[in-house]
Amino acid sequence: MTRIVVVGAGSAGFNAARALCRQLGDSAEVVLVNPSDYFLYVPLLPEVAAGILDPRRVAVSLPGALPDVRLAPGTVHTVDLPGKAVTYQDVDGHDRTVTYHGRLMVEPDLSVPGQPGLWACGDAAAVPDLTRPGEVTAMTAQHAQRQGARVGKNIAAALGRGKRKPYRHRNLGFVVDLGGFDGAADPLGVPLGGFPAKVVTRGYHLSAMPGNRVRTAIDRAEHATLGAQTQRLDLVRGKQVIPLDTDPPN
């Protein structure tokens, strides 16, 4: 059976693994290597920090969302291109890191030139923007999600399922949650501000989440109706206080 290894479960990696499972079914084994067993929906972290959402809402279980994917918890430290092997340290091994400078150049179909069987998408890839010749796509979740879905379909096409197509996506605008009842958005080139932009921003992020949508909507409704929860902070007195100028441990 063909084995496909996806490194990283960000927006691009998550959507790539999901598209591969949908396209290939049981004809291939999809392995996802990621340090944790959850997908983190980063755009909603400000709402977590503001106390609007429970932190669990933005962390989507990978085994639950991708039941047909084999999850390999660990951190990749070696990629052997000629041997077509990815080596990683699991959660019980020693931590090792590798740093890449710049973005990996890819073809419009997201394949890496000169490396058969290697594909790249998301923030790690410099993807040609076919709607703006001579430029590359921005490092945004909007592109990462769609690149992941496209690369998954293109890999399936390389294995005989479907047709390989170049990645093409025209920017749909931006959405920003500014807190309170304020927001800024530019959907399809229509500038919005204030509460209308807030509604568009929250609606877009809710639809883009791969899971926990109902619980996220409930958290938002509770916050809008009941307000922020009150937290109790006890006072620390006397010898319990730890001075801030304590010397670091040797």
Are 167 and 195 in the same domain? no
Are 72 and 89 in the same domain? yes
Are 123 and 199 in the same domain? no
pLDDT recorded at residue 245:
54
pTM of the model: 0.67
CA distance 76 to 168: 29
- Residue 240 within a domain: no
Residue after which a domain boundary falls, among 171, 193, 216: 171
pLDDT recorded at residue 101:
44
pLDDT recorded at residue 83:
63
Are 75 and 129 in the same domain? yes
- Residue 67 within a domain: yes
User: Domain tally for the chain?
Assistant: 2
What domain range is 217 assigned to? 172-228
pLDDT recorded at residue 225:
83
Are 115 and 198 in the same domain? no
Are 47 and 162 in the same domain? yes
Are 163 and 223 in the same domain? no
DSSP 1-49: -EEEEEE--SHHHHHHHHHHHHHHGGGEEEEEEESSSEEE-GGGHHHHH
Are 190 and 76 in the same domain? no
pLDDT recorded at residue 97:
37
Q: Which residue has the tokens 């076919």?
A: 130
- Residue 86 within a domain: yes
Are 223 and 184 in the same domain? yes
Q: What is the pLDDT along the chain (250 residues), one digit of tens a residue?
A: 688 888 889 999 999 999 999 999 888 888 898 989 999 998 888 888 888 888 888 999 999 999 999 898 888 877 776 666 677 777 676 644 333 345 778 999 999 888 888 899 998 889 999 999 889 998 888 899 999 999 999 999 999 989 999 999 988 888 988 887 889 999 888 999 999 999 999 999 998 888 889 999 998 888 888 776 655 455 556 555 555 555 554 4
Are 70 and 151 in the same domain? yes
For position 104, which CATH number holds?
Answer: 3.50.50.60
Are 156 and 53 in the same domain? yes
CA distance 125 to 137: 9
- Residue 36 within a domain: yes
Segment holding 192, helix H or strand E = strand 192-193
CA distance 62 to 36: 9
Buried b (16+ CB within 10 A) or exposed e, 223-238: beeeeeeeeeeeeeee
CA 176, 178, 181, 184 torsion-angle sign: negative
Are 68 and 143 in the same domain? yes
pLDDT recorded at residue 29:
87
